[in-house]
Structure 1
Amino acid sequence: MMPFFDARCGIGQFSRTGVRTGVDDLLRLMDRLSISRALVYHALAREASPLEGNDLLLTVLAGHPRLVPCWVLLPPGTGEIPDYEGYLAQAVSRGVRAFAVYPATFGVCLSHWVRSGAFAPLEKMAAPVFVCPNAGQSEPWDRGDWDGMRVLLERHPNLPVVFTEHRMRYHIRVLLFFLREFPNLFFDISSCWNYRSLEGLAEAVGAHRLVAGTDIPRADPGHCLGMVLLSDLPDEAREAVAFRTLERLIEGVSCG
């Protein structure tokens, strides 16, 4: 079976799903599904306290090289992260290889994040940033803040940005406009449930712009994995989506 580098997994206690997933639970599931590596965030960071959750994430992932830490961020200037650039540099030095922002969860719209200076040091580091517009799982589809995404992508053309959400439907048309306009934008295919959407996106912009995140344990991993494994794409394109694109993105990260 084709190996996967999962772009989006969570551990910890999730309030809205009532599910708790530990490291051993995640690794067992990865073994069963042939997921070789995974980017992992902590539920505490995702839902309530990024600083505490990020520290806890590194503690529980220690000694598990298949699990790559992804830190959740807050915008600088609020006083919660006094030395923002130092915090990011420390993260990378401790093995963090991606970051995530959840504007709706913390009540700060994406354009304010951009104007706060949150992304400039990440651009210097070439660190991939996942942008998710969802505060919870039981939300309508098409929640993307595309005005905010435009501000972000225009101001930071060298920052790898991965857009992901619980479900995309009609906004796939908007996504295509953005993927064609901004070469630094990537897309997590698990967001899109439309029939043969993976094949259409790969044909339009190339499989190298797509990654696969299962969103374990908040979602059923079969949807994302099945989109790739059962697609009509050639093996090279399926491998790009399954693991090669994400590997390339995290290999480019530096301390700036």
Structure 2
Amino acid sequence: MNILYFVIFKQVGFVRFNHENIRVSANTLMVFRDAFEILMEAETEEVICTMQQLLDSCDSLCEYIPDHGNGYQRGSLRQLDFPDSAQKTLTFTLHSDRELATPYLIFYCLSRDWGYFSSLFSSLINEGGDIIGFMKEYAFNSWPVKRYAEMLGLSLRKFNIIFKERFGITPKHWLINIRLARAKYLLEHSSMSVSDIAEHCGFSNHAYFSESFRKRFHCSPSQWRNKKVLAIN
């Protein structure tokens, strides 16, 4: 599920938002949470952000914000200067590794207007409420998805539907992603064995862990660790 749209206006343009026509300056970045419409032809670049991408980029953001109500109000907008250097960086990122484009834009926004965008991003994360908090608390237990559903008092089918609607990803894939991210960190920063890391991160089956890691990062856990050691040396 797409929750944010980053739109870079390379030329002067007009956008329809919240029943208003808004003039947008050239070399401007705007972030839309709600429906919008570009009213005239202008050279633009659009990058879409899903809930999973937002969680991956700033999962702990809420810890830094004492009051989530400050800065962002539903229906408000910001126009950020997005100079040629930033546009070249984005273009390079889109061509070299498109998955890095969204985090780049998220961090760019935070660097330019922390109050507004930290409030916007955290409000979206907080919409996950108790479900995402519960999942993060027990993510590294080697439980099947059915166990999480039962502890939340939901049928497996209902849990899958609610989670997918809210976060744009199934709970099974969310768990795999967060476990693999943790495993990658431990491979780089600890001396734990691969089998111990697999167990620590919630993978009860070592072979399944290795298979999942290879699919995600295109190498085995041991190969990943060796590459990082060589890079350091």
TM-score, structure 1 as length reference: 0.27
Higher relative contact order (CA 8 A, sep 6+): 1
Give TM-score scaled by structure 2 length. Answer: 0.29
Larger radius of gyration: 2
